[in-house]
Chain A
């Protein structure tokens, strides 16, 4: 894992994508996240909006953009449930910010690093979700850490497949 100075890395590689990719990729992630569980009989062991948030935050290397994207994706996910709006929003806001901050400092081209980062950020998102729901709001919510662990593994595997596909869509100088 090669370490670089923050400014030098940011200047070195800020990925740019066509506007359509910025719109369609998150939209596709949200639609698939809502549609696939009905096909897969309820086994929701993945979080596509989280994976897309992490990808764009790592690629753009801008904490503000990562924060905004995470907030938007999380709020969208919350709005599709019947729970409070903002729980996923806060979790993904933090994840987007952290992913962009990490992207500035380390080389994220390596697949292993991407896999590990996706796994850790997925676990962090689940932890924040539980903290907000149970501690901050004081609501009763059944929880299984094993499920969240499986979900983190699922997200990592999806990231390994999805990141190279999205890499192909970037604008190359």
Chain B
């Protein structure tokens, strides 16, 4: 027996190691109710321990490399590449001024929205607190698109927290280690996020495809979905707050597995293949954060009167536009007359209608428009004496003249 193991020790070791790994794999896979195999979304303690060890080995060198890279970039950008900085500062100041003006103008609407939400017993969650983190490494495999952040549970990160950039959503935290965290991006096939199309209000689930593009799956074919339509978070997945930008519709393709369903390929708003710094949403609350409130107060103090004046001017012009009488010329030709359209005047014949549909000659004299409610000052109105004669059937009507009319 001893000689057997000695003679075949290579094969015995190989088979033992393979067997151990196969058993380990079998433990990690479970069968769903629909009969399909799937990986457990939550790692078992043993599996998590292996991931923790691997992260503890790989993360420190990655962090070191990333810090060196950042240091060199910092050195270059802050000491050598300072050309046009003054011009950029001026441009940025102009942008800040413009944004402050917009914010001040929108503030009252936001407050009104909050009051209405409170009345409807619906509280929208706002991003209350975020934590900036650096992407320091990836999984190293083209089959898994997860990447690692340089912040972990020691910095307050937890599973299922949303990861975003200023451009749009990135993904969610899948696993947290003491000083790093694993992020599952929205373009991974195992990810999932509730999204809504901005104009058509169609909801769906966003997940990655094999090519690494996010796509909305499981929605019925709809002609209204067009390329370029904005995609936002729907807020129903309890991970991403409502209304964050996801991307724009890039393409609509039929679902290869189900008839009458389509896949909407989305061009992500965040640059998922060149992530450097991201924000992790560590807290959402039904109110604005102190920083946001302070920023809004500053905007209101600095730009409030200016924004109010612009708003008032806009409102006044809208009111004026509503009050101005519509100048409709009953004899004017219709812009797109129907072939059998009736003439504008009720007594006209079809021939007359056809004649009226013809464009007017440029040499024709200008017509005097007939007022909708003529008074004594209107051109072509009846003389005063004739107007003072009582007209049968009009005595009971209330007088609308500015001067009181006396009957003889």
Interface pair B57/A33, CB less than 8 Å apart: no
A147 touching B142, Cβ below 8 Å = yes
Which of B19-27, B112-120, B196-204 lines the interface with chain A? B19-27
Residues from chain B with a CB closer than 8 A to the CB of A30 are 57-58, 140
A137 and B25 within 8 A (CB):
yes
Across the two chains, which residue of chain B brings its CB closest to A101? B10
Contacts of B142 in A (CB 8 A): 42, 44-45, 147, 151
Residue contact B140 to A44, C-beta cutoff 8 Å: yes
Within 8 A of A (CB), among B127-168: 135-148
Contact with B along A20-64 (1 / 0, CB 8 A): 000000010011011111100110110000000000000000011
Q: How many of B's residues come within 8 Å of A, CB to CB?
A: 55
Determine whether the beta carbon of B21 is less than 8 Å from that of A93.
yes
B47 CB to closest chain A CB (Å) equals 6
- Distance in Å from the Cβ of A72 to the closest Cβ of chain B? 10
CA distance A60 to B175 in the complex (A): 37
In the complex, chain A residues 78-98 whose Cβ is within 8 Å of any chain B Cβ: 79-90, 93-94, 97
Chain A residues whose CB sits within 8 angstroms of the CB of B184 once the complex forms: 82
Q: In the bound complex, what is the Cα–Cα distance between A71 and B50 (angstroms)?
A: 13
Determine whether A139 belongs to the interface, using a CB cutoff of 8 Å to chain B: yes
Question: Are A93 and B57 in contact, CB atoms less than 8 angstroms apart?
Answer: no
Q: A31-B61, A139-B29 are in contact. Are A82 and B139 (CB under 8 A)?
A: yes
In the complex the two chains form, what is the Cα distance from A39 to B51 in whole Å? Answer: 23
B121 at the interface (CB under 8 A from A): no
Does B308 belong to the interface (CB within 8 Å)?
no
Pair count A-B, CB < 8 A? 152
Q: Which chain A residues border B14 with CB–CB below 8 Å?
A: 63, 67, 93-94, 97
Tally of contact residues, A, Cβ under 8 A: 49
Interface of B is mostly: mixed
Q: Kindly name the residue among A42, A63, A77, A147 whose own CB sees the greatest number of chain B CB atoms within 10 A.
A: A42
Instruction: Knowing A71-B17, A137-B25, say if A63 contacts B54 (CB, 8 Å).
Output: no
The contact string, 1 if C-beta is below 8 Å from chain B, for chain A 134-173, is 0011111111100100010000000000000000000000
Q: Which residues of B contact A93 (CB under 8 A)?
A: 14, 17-18, 21
Q: Which of B199-236 contact A (CB under 8 A)?
A: 209-210, 212
**Does A76 interact with chain B (Cβ within 8 Å)?**
yes
Known contacts A30-B58, A84-B28, A138-B37; A79/B10 CB under 8 A? no
Chain B residues with Cβ below 8 Å from A120 are none
| 3 A-B pairs with least C-beta separation | A142-B210, A79-B54, A81-B144
A-B contact pairs, 20 of them (CB 8 A): A27-B61, A30-B57, A31-B58, A34-B58, A34-B148, A37-B138, A37-B139, A42-B212, A77-B140, A79-B53, A79-B54, A80-B54, A80-B55, A81-B146, A82-B184, A82-B188, A83-B144, A85-B50, A93-B21, A142-B189
